[in-house]
A and B are shown apart, each in its own frame.
Chain A
Amino acid sequence: MPHQFIWLIFLLPLFSFIIIGFFVRPFVRAESKLAGYITILSIGGSLALSVWALFAVMAAPHHEIPVPDVTWAVIEDGVTIHLGLIMDSLTAVMLIVVTVVSLMVQIYSQGYMQGDPGYHRYYAWMSLFTASMIGLVMADNLLFLFVFWEMVGLCSYLLIGFWFHKPSAADAAKKAFIVTRLGDFGFLAGILLLYLNTGTFDIYELHELAIAGALAGTTLTWAAIGIFAGAVGKSAQFPLHVWLPDAMEGPTPVSALIHAATMVAAGVFLVARMFPLFEHSTEALTTVAIIGGITAIFAASMGLVMNDIKRVLAYSTISQLGYMMLGLGAGGVAIGIWHLFNHAFFKALLFLGAGSVNHATGTFDMRLMGGLRKYMPWTYLTFVIASLSISGIWPLSGFWSKDEILINTFAHQPVLFYLAMITVFMTAFYMFRAVFMTFGGEYRGGEPSAHGHEGHHGQPHESPRVMTIPLMILAALSILSGLWNVTGHFGAFMGHGETHGFFTGLFHPFTQPLPWISLILAGSGILLAYAMYRKSWISPERIGSMFKPLYTLFYRKYWFDELYENIIVRNALLKGLFAGFEQFDNHVVDGAVNGVAGGAIVSGRAIRHAQTGQLQLYGLFIGIGILAIIFVIYFFG
């Protein structure tokens, strides 16, 4: 196939958005499922082309194929901006992630969003969301990358706030947009700094300049940290993590997409895409690793105590994104992206599983669930597979990528390594806490008024095929996706490490001490969850009251929301500084204007008395004036 076809990967979902937004939504009746089919078809097309592109890239020299570009604008004489696409190993892998997860989510949504009054709108935004993310991973210059970056942010704003009549959804959407924009500010500043010093937005040119050392020193460090600030916002890293847990206000399939393949993955991708810049600045790379390591354990600690299943998953995402950043910072592109790749499938599966559970019970509160394994065998089975995978149990996918991160962290960032190890234990614990609370024991009744569906008061039931089949496919991927690198092929493809035999690779971890330790930690996390939430050998309440301060700290999310929303935004800024400005504007700036006006009237009244009409008096004034001028000239002239 000619390389022009690569454009279609991006354009198909974009066309889908345009068709749904401008033709289907206004003219097709609300019950029609046409919008969903158009979206599925177009993203399916993108997936097929992405698979083809992946193989083409694998076969190509230097794992890179050229894509024809178009000239978009001429900034200055000689400086043109091309709208071009990159097709290298990083992009190829990201495309697989985005299109596979998006396709699964779109199919699942046909069931989940059935009968929602905003059905067409939903698929229009979903198409645009996918198109923007594809554009982001393919953009060959920072300007367009930033454009798609913002479009991804817009789409998540629209989808998180999809049920905008709920104040909590509108709040969450706004929060997501503004918090990520705070990071975008850094990203934009980084772009400006790079442009100032290099005169280019082109990503490959920037790579070469960094590698050649033309771009170095503090400039490079600041630019890289600026770019990383953007990634911190998008990938919900500490301290801009606060938007992601609230972002579950959107429909659950949206959360699956946001948490797995689009939006939050963009930040990790950005660091990977600009990696040569980070690589040549030790400070920047260390910053990435430290923020990643802190975020991993910090978010996991909050995941331990949440009762809302989506919140547990949200904190788990933040934590896993921290792992990816740590992998990038300590190991490199291949390590970080490898975890992103595996994580995408099991995290999408977990969210879709949570959605399926919600479909049956009408709630996300795990305290109201329980016993669902009997009623929803497929959801249960797939959810457990994903939980084992994320906990890092051999030979599921999560094991392989987490193992790589731990090995590299141990080698390069020993302090962070211990944090990462504790996080392994926490991850296994909170995931299986969720599994046992949701699926174990007896059913605790669910939400009395559920999900808008009537007649839910009886027993929960398994979700329809259109929802469970994507779960099964994703479960298969959660088991198998890790095998790509058992032979070292993924790493080699991404330019890291060498390949070896399959069975050597498969059992290699058992010859090392480190995988044993992490497996034991994960296993004991699962066991502890089993003991506490399945068998009640240990009472969670007693543990909670034993570590009351710690429990409160985690449960109240370290008071970050209070700090940001109440203390900084509401009091320090809105009621403090901004109110002061407003008062200043009304009374001082405008007061001066009105004062001058009033003063003019008053002085006019006073000076009026000088206008007597007597020539003698005027003559006197003229004389005084002349004397004054002579005086001035004499002394100053």
Chain B
Amino acid sequence: MLGSGYLTTILFLPAVGAVLVAFVLSNRDRVIKWTAALFTFVPLALSLILFALFDRSPEAAGLIQFQERALWIAPINAYYHLGVDGLSLPLMVLTAFLGFLAVLISWKIHLRVREYFAWLLLLETSILGVFLSLDLLLFFIMWEIEVIPMYFLINIWGAGRKEYSAIKYVVYTLFGSAFMLAGILSLYFSTGSLNMVEIGQRGLGLVQSIMPAAPIFWLLLIGFAVKLPVFPFHTWLPDAHTDAPTAVSVMLAGVLIKMGGYGMIRLCVTMFPPVAQQYAVILVILAIIGVLYGAAVTMRQTDFKRLIAYSSISHMGYVLLGIFALGKVSLVGAALQMFSHGLVTGLLFAMVGLVMHNAHERDLRKLGGLARQVPIITVVFSIAGLASLGLPSTSGFAAEFLVFVGSFSSSLVPGIQVYTILGVFGVVVTAGYILWMLQRVFYGPPLEQYDGTADADVLERVYMFAFVAVIMLVGIYPAIITDIIKLGISPIAGMLGG
């Protein structure tokens, strides 16, 4: 049975755009850019419509909405199965939002434009695919497709040690997905099903399994842990983020690493609640190491972009903490933190790209005093920085606060209060590096060499303000997102009994 077709449209429009750009349209920059904008804007508009139509009533808890299902490969029982629930809907909207803005951010690309936009559009489809798929095979295929555009985007349009970073990203991801594939195969042979919803609802513990649950849990988890990333699997991230072109960094930090957190909730926690609980302490400890260690290493960075990249490791620690604290509120917080971090770090990377592009400098020790020369960038950058350090009225605060409250009051993980408090201390260090960075780049006496540095132009202002508006909206009224997330989380929390 095929549903309304909304999700299929959203999913494949960027890919269609990619095909058009690559093979059909003339090789004129304007044509390509406008096509890319159109084929990312329509999915954004559609996903906002779905966001509005989504049934938020309490009865809809755990319900998959806008479902589409068709038999795909009969012998192995694989379906073309799409759908969204409270967990995936915000991530779909976020991906569509960042996908469109990534095109705008790339407006000044002049190198091999046709290829660039084709890969960028394909990237969006593959990420959307991960969040929309409800069939394990489809999920895995989408997960793997994403690596290809990423490789080319970093390798060709990147900077610095781009070849090294690109190959490192690919190999690392494949390393993770090898484990994940083994996990998915084990799941399939244990249950005979590829239906993520079904496996989740039946609960794997009830299924007669040829394999104990714990190894499957860990196989899947390693795949996701590489993506999130979880200490000690994180070293691909600073390299890839730093050397990728701006728009790709935005996608990478904004939505790509959320695939890891999403997978952990959707597969690991939902399908193996008792196993998740059994090993939660280990993962919570890794989360806290990620938060504090990540923040400490961030403090040491002197490269503008690398600093933001490292901060992601610290912030993703909060996601991991929220997930494996296993409380209802903490899971909501983790999901909100993924959404919020996507916006905030997306904006930070966009702004860093802008500063680097306009001032031709990325070394924090050489930058300074830009506030006079680029006032608009300064204001927006400051807002993004304050959101990153979790200031109230920005989405960062709402998310972190929910993670802290939820984790601290979780009853399923022994000693969680101590770990949470250690995690809370991370916000002090975060304030340290964010404010230090702001001061380094923007404050102090204006420097001569940056006279005449261009401030944001009209297009740039448009996307900056779009980011800021959503960050503030979610910060002031988080219920707009959390009311949806809760619907996806409550059945999971119900299974955990927390």
Contact = CB atoms under 8 A, between A and B. Distances in A.
Q: Do A and B bind each other?
A: yes
Interface of A: 72-77, 143, 146-148, 150-151, 154, 157, 161, 164-167, 169-171, 173-174, 177-178, 181-182, 184-185, 188-189, 192-193, 195-196, 199, 573-574, 577-579, 581-582, 585, 589-590, 592-593, 597
Contact of A178 (B300, B397, B409, B432): B432
B297 A177 contact: no
A531 to B, nearest CB: 44
The 4 closest A-B CB pairs, nearest first, are A170-B443, A147-B392, A590-B235, A192-B408
Contact of B405 (A150, A167, A192, A582): A192
Given A165-B372, A185-B427, A73 B479 contact: yes
A77 B273 CA distance: 22
Interface stretch (B98-106, B416-424, B450-458): B416-424
Contacts of A189: 421, 424
Contact of A188 (B171, B369, B404, B442): B404
Interface in B422-477: 424-425, 427-428, 431-432, 435-436, 439, 442-446, 477
Contacts of A75: 329
Nearest to A154: B391
Contact of A164 (B432, B442, B477): B442
Given A165-B446, A167-B443, A185-B427, 8 more contacts: A151-B393, A164-B442, A167-B444, A185-B428, A192-B420, A192-B424, A574-B299, A574-B300
Interface of B: 58, 168, 171-172, 231-232, 234-236, 293, 296-297, 299-300, 328-329, 369, 371-372, 386, 391-393, 397, 401, 404-405, 408-409, 417, 420-421, 424-425, 427-428, 431-432, 435-436, 439, 442-446, 477-479, 482-483
Contact of A195 (B58, B409, B435, B445): B409
Contacts of B236: 593
Contacts of B401: 143
Contacts of B300: 574, 578-579, 581-582
B171 A178 contact: no
B293 A581 contact: yes
Contact of A146 (B58, B392, B478): B392
A527 B171 CA distance: 79
Contacts, number: 121
B431 A178 contact: yes
A578 B235 contact: no
Contact of B435 (A143, A174, A192, A590): A174
B371 A165 contact: yes
B235 A589 contact: yes
Contact of A581 (B171, B235, B297, B421): B297
A40 to B, nearest CB: 25
Most buried by B among A154, A178, A195: A178
Nearest to B231: A589
Contacts of B329: 75-76
Nearest to B295: A578
A185 B408 contact: no
A171 B440 CA distance: 10
B386 A154 contact: yes
A189 B232 CA distance: 28
25 contacts: A72-B479, A73-B477, A75-B329, A76-B329, A77-B58, A147-B393, A148-B392, A150-B391, A151-B392, A154-B391, A165-B372, A165-B445, A178-B435, A182-B428, A185-B424, A189-B421, A192-B408, A195-B405, A196-B417, A581-B296, A582-B296, A585-B235, A590-B235, A592-B232, A597-B171
Contact of B297 (A76, A154, A165, A585): A585
Contacts of A581: 293, 296-297, 300
Nearest to B172: A593
B307 to A, nearest CB: 12
B235 A593 contact: yes
Nearest to A577: B296
A178 B437 CA distance: 13
A451 to B, nearest CB: 18
A224 B316 CA distance: 31
Contacts of A154: 386, 391
Contacts of B404: 188, 192
B384 to A, nearest CB: 14
Contacts of B421: 189, 192
A164 B424 contact: no
Contacts of A73: 477-479, 482
